Amino acid sequence: MRLDKLIGSVTDLSRAMAKRAIREGAVTVDGAVVRDPAADVGAETAVTLDGRPLRAVGPRYFMLHKPAGVVCAARDRLHQTVLDLLPDEDNVETLHVAGRLDIDTTGLVLLTDDGKWSHRVTSPRHRTEKHYLVTTAEPIDASVAGQFERGLFLHNEKRRLLPARLEQLAPCRARVIIAEGKYHQVKRMFAAVGNAVLELHRERIGAVALDPTLPEGGYRPLTAMEVSALASAPESAAEEA
């Protein structure tokens, strides 16, 4: 993209004002002053105007390590929201959650302002796998993995769930991998087999794992690889729920 066009698109300067600023030497590209408004700049180029780095506008993608007690909503009168945990970002109200967690569930939450991308991540058509660590009230019966694999029928659902995998880690602890995201799905799956979930933690969505260096409440932008890995999940023939 031309340098004057880039500046015009990420600041409130008109194209003519951007050209003038460039010619006056107010703009650096990768550390060096550039006076040619037609200079070509790529997405990764570092551009400053009057010494301040310019941030590209465009879709934003973050991962957040959600603590318990925080809600996946834009606003809440009683509780802290996931957006409250991104105080350093501009215009957080334009972000939304791609796959909500319950208030008491911890772990990986994805936030973006790219509706098409979040639809891809959450649509059951794409069968993006979500990995959860589950702690249960009672020991998990040996028959449960098979029942999950065959697809449970949950109360008030018209269709059987997609097959889910259960890896037993301890008598009351398991990793459960589901390919859709129905309301309270994991808790309802355990309730359907006569058990109860005490703790629930999401550790992965598709190719993107919760960054182990992120403390609870911490967040970071997704890398370009993470964004594209989730955008390129193959579409299955499954019906939309």
67 φ, ψ (degrees, to nearest 5):
-85, 165
Query: In the bound complex, what is the minimum distance in angstroms from residue 230's beta carbon to ligand URA?
Result: 17
Query: In the bound complex, what is the minimum distance in angstroms from residue 114's beta carbon to ligand URA?
Result: 22
Whose CA is closest to 182, among 104, 111, 99?
Answer: 99
Nearer to ligand URA, 5 or 187 (CB): 187
Query: In the bound complex, what is the minimum distance in angstroms from residue 64's beta carbon to ligand URA?
Result: 14
Nearer to ligand URA, 21 or 70 (CB): 70
Nearer to ligand URA, 30 or 104 (CB): 104
User: Measured between alpha carbons, how far is 32 from 37 in angstroms, rounded to an integer?
Assistant: 14
Query: In the bound complex, what is the minimum distance in angstroms from residue 69's beta carbon to ligand URA?
Result: 13
Give the containing element (helix H, strand E) for 29: strand 27-29
AA letter at 194: G
Distances (CA, A) of 216 to 47, 116, 127, 148, 180: 33, 28, 27, 30, 25
Query: In the bound complex, what is the minimum distance in angstroms from residue 67's beta carbon to ligand URA?
Result: 13
Catalytic residue among 36, 76, 84, 102: 102
Nearer to ligand URA, 66 or 120 (CB): 66
Q: Which residue has the tokens 């598709």?
A: 206
Nearer to ligand URA, 15 or 187 (CB): 187
Count of alpha carbons within 13 angstroms of residue 102, beta-carbon side: 16
DSSP 3-state percent helix, strand, coil across the chain (nearest 5): 25, 25, 50
Q: Which tokens belong to 132?
A: 């959860």
Count of C-beta atoms within a 10 Å radius of residue 7 = 24
Q: Which residues bind ligand URA (CB under 6 A)?
A: 101-102, 105, 184-187, 200
Count, residues in the chain: 241
Question: Is 102 assigned a catalytic role?
Answer: yes
User: Measured between alpha carbons, how far is 140 from 196 in angstroms, rounded to an integer?
Assistant: 10
What residues are annotated to the active site? Answer: 102
